[in-house]
Chain A
Amino acid sequence: MRFRLSLLGVHLVLLVGGGIMAFPFYWMLATSFKSPQEALQAQPVWVPERIKPANWFKAARLGDSPLWGGLGPGRSAELFFPGPEGLPPRALVPRSPGAFFDPVADGTKVEVARGEGGWWVRLTNTGEAGFRRVPLVVLWPKGVPLEPPLPPDALRSQGEYWRLEWVNAVPGALGYVFHNYLEAWDAAPWGRYFFVSFFTASVQVAVGLFLAALAAFALARIPFPGKEAVFVLILATMMVPGEVLLIPNYVLLARLGWLDTYYALIVPWLASVFGIFLLRQFYLSLPQDLFDAARIDGAGYLTQLFRIALPLSLPGLVSYGIFTFLGAYNALLWPLIVTQSPEMRTVQLGLLAFVSEAGSDYGALMAASAFVIAPVVLGYFVAQRQFIQGIARTGLK
């Protein structure tokens, strides 16, 4: 019984700790689904309207496509507000755009008509082009019970009326749920940022791995004069903290004319002392007999490296790959220094720019943060064991 209790205690402590660790993720995701009014509440909203399934069905009926919504040319969408006859509600497409307003939606015609048991608000696209978003404001008389066809993104009081605001009255189900993600994605050339990040990180991993494998093999398996000196030199470079290199490497890149190019993001980080050490350790742990046998069969050093050592050191390669990729993908300071143009921005720089531009649109900001970390987190869930062991291996001497 005592044993069971202590086990319960362990679980309790771990759950509370894990909850604290996970909370920022939950809060990021929750906020990324919130409307601005929900996000800016003194009392936290735990479950935003946009992730309630009942609302998805409501949203699916609005707009041309049930998934992505939108309003094609000549098409119209109708919103039904049940209510008694009397003072009619007023509806308009707001003229004062928000931060990420789609200016095309200007040509929308808005009509309010009496139907059976309520009011119809009909939006008609009179223009030539289709819209993805049509913001809508409906003024609903106070004192009349309100049952909107889709929960409004903001509800304010305006004189005799309730002012109901929708950032998009034709969302479709996914357009409704992922509104902030779409806003954030459209606000900056994220595709380009992701390409730069992935490209530079992958090249760094691939070339770095190759160079480290060559050097590590020589240091572990080939008796050559001067080996000790090379080893001491490599050890010594390990003592130099990264920030010492910022200025001189910047000057070097400037003289090479490489600032603001892929070279600047890749080349300085190709040779990795950490990688050399890690792989050397691996090669040292392989039995010498393997190499002797190969030697007798007439294999040269290169054959030994590529046919024996490399395949056997796969865990080490994975470990180094994950570590280097994480470092490259998550880096901020170095890309910040050596790139200027938006075309060369990495994902992290894009996010940094977005942090200062997004202002109080925390929904979009959290959505951007979510998709910036998504590739790494997905990678973790796909290759969990490799991640954990790869990182754990960095601690072994």
Chain B
Amino acid sequence: MRKAMVLFASLFAAVAWASSGPAAEGEKEDVAAYILHHVSDSHELEIEVPLSHDHITLHLPQILVPFKDGACTPVMTDHGEVTPGLGAGCLDLSITKHTVMMWLAAVLLIGSILIWSNRDKTKLVPRGTGANLFEMLVLFVRDELAIKNIGKEEGPRYVPYLLTAFFFILFMNLLGLFPWMASATGNLAVTCGLAVCTFVVTQLAGIRAAGFGGYLAHLTGGVHPLLWPIMIPVEFLGLFTKPFALTVRLFANMLAGHIVIFFLLGLIFILQHPAVAIISVPFAFGIYLLELFVAFVQAYVFTMLSALFIGMGVAMGHHGDDHGHAHDHKEGGHAEGKAHAMGH
């Protein structure tokens, strides 16, 4: 393994040596811009032709919906042409690189579910690495995440959502590790969208457990009606703290890993010496393996926290217990349940 690593680093160093020279001079300042260009979203999908300097660029369709005439006319700024945002009355529904990655992840998700779940149905004992690995992950999400965080009675109800979130995030994370692909979870809008889904499910779980009246009552914080104008916004803002944590955690972890890999390789161009490759390439390779681990860990963490928050929503209707049983509540909730929900 050590010999292989040294050989790998030497090969990279040789390639770097061969490509160093006048071309590398101008690249010193461009490393940061190059990294940002690679991790950010774009309207193009660049595919490099192997063993050449040629690129195949796929221009993705731009879909702009103006709310008023001329709202989507590009504006010239210091950074070039910029399309006005939603504030200026232009809704950008363009298909971007990250959108394509999300679609690809969705296709992989649906395909794997159809293939392996069908194999699970038709055989008493599923055979094959894929089917067994898939079953292991599904059972893990059900038993260790859903049931342990939500409860035996209510947990299975939320397993489909948790499984979808887990595999969708996992596939998006893994796609980002392939050449010419991108990690859609390194986009704040994507992680925010996922967190919104969890937020909606959490609130529905709370409404289901405490009743709609009980759910609204916990937003008053249990204070006198005269203080509601202050307390209701406080409790309403408090609802968004958990999804915010979900959003930032996934986004920052995925983005940071990619930036570190690019930066380690960029060191060769910053220091402008091919010998740097002997250090930076093995380090980048190590971080890449860590990224592979993080792809699974972040999918697990997001799903685990989603289950935890849904479980806390389910507990909203309980009588101060924590045993995970579902109780029947009349529409409108009850004082004890709603008092427990928000610390009385």
Is chain B a partner of chain A in the same complex?
no
Give the interface of A toward B (CB within 8 A).
none
Give the interface of B toward A (CB within 8 A).
none
